[in-house]
Amino acid sequence: MIWCVEDEASIRDIEVYSLQSTGFEARGFEDGTSFWEALQTEQPDLVVLDVMLPGVDGIELLRRMKASAKFCDIPVVMATAKGAEYDKIQGLDLGADYYITKPFGVMELVSCIKAVLRRCAPKQTERLLKTGGLTVNLDARTVTADGERVILTYKEFEMLRLFLSRPGIAFTRDQLMEEVWGMDYVGETRTVDMHIRTLRQKLGTYGELIETVRNVGYRMEAKE
Ligand code: CA
């Protein structure tokens, strides 16, 4: 599924239509807010992001995506206006995978997207997070501890993934809520504690790597 964030309806329609007609699933968003909301519940394979958007602009959306453990792996193609060299450089610095200069042709867009997906695919087949004998396979969504499968719930998995993607970093309960449950989730931070408890139990001795940081939340130490 490819998402196209573009405020100009005519360009957006062309993007979505040309992708659909070449066999991709595609969906358009007219602004950053609706895109960001949708991202909380569903994740695309790639995002085509316009730089100049009303409200939250493309650069800011890219920055938010790359700062989030949950979204930082989604490839991004920035669509920049002709001659906007600064946007390109800023976009690439922030981790955009590619940029395409407007106005672009349909085939140019499609071949660019295919190239980026190809380039990102090998990385995705071996996306593993490890600490000691604990391995999280992000593609298979499996966890093994010393070779034994550990069955986690969706939230437990997401929490472990977050800890391992930033080892040694202390997360507040609110941060964990936001990252794992989503920004709009209204709930008690006690929910986090409950999930930490079951996660620790399931991980056995590796559960001890999850430390309680008093008055803050939790962190997970990396193990050699
Ligand atoms: Ca625009």
Sheet containing 210-213: which strands, arranged edge to edge?
Answer: 171-172, 217-220, 210-213
Span 17-42, average pLDDT:
95
CATH number at residue 21: 3.40.50.2300
User: Are 68 and 157 members of one domain?
Assistant: no
pLDDT digits (tens, 9 = 90+) for 98-153: 888 888 888 999 999 999 998 877 554 568 898 999 999 988 899 999 989 999 99
Six-digit token pair at 37? 């909301």
User: Are 187 and 215 members of one domain?
Assistant: yes
pLDDT digits (tens, 9 = 90+) for 177-212: 988 988 666 777 788 999 999 999 999 999 999 999
User: Are 91 and 136 members of one domain?
Assistant: no
User: In which domain, by residue range, is 35 found?
Assistant: 2-120
DSSP string, 52-87: S-SSS-HHHHHHHHHH-TTTTTS-EEEEEETT-HHH
Span 31-52, average pLDDT:
95
Q: Does the pLDDT of residue 78 top 70, yes or no?
A: yes
Give the distance (Å) from ligand 1 centre to CA of residue 70: 26
Give the distance (Å) from ligand 1 centre to CA of residue 87: 13
pLDDT for the residue 42: 93
User: Are 76 and 114 members of one domain?
Assistant: yes
Alpha-carbon distance of 74 to 68, in angstroms, equals 10
User: Are 116 and 32 members of one domain?
Assistant: yes
Residue of 108, 101, 111, 110 lying closest to 17 (CA atoms): 110
Give the distance (Å) from ligand 1 centre to CA of residue 48: 12
User: Are 132 and 115 members of one domain?
Assistant: no
User: Are 109 and 166 members of one domain?
Assistant: no
Q: Which amino acid is at 119?
A: R
User: Are 74 and 112 members of one domain?
Assistant: yes
User: Are 112 and 145 members of one domain?
Assistant: no
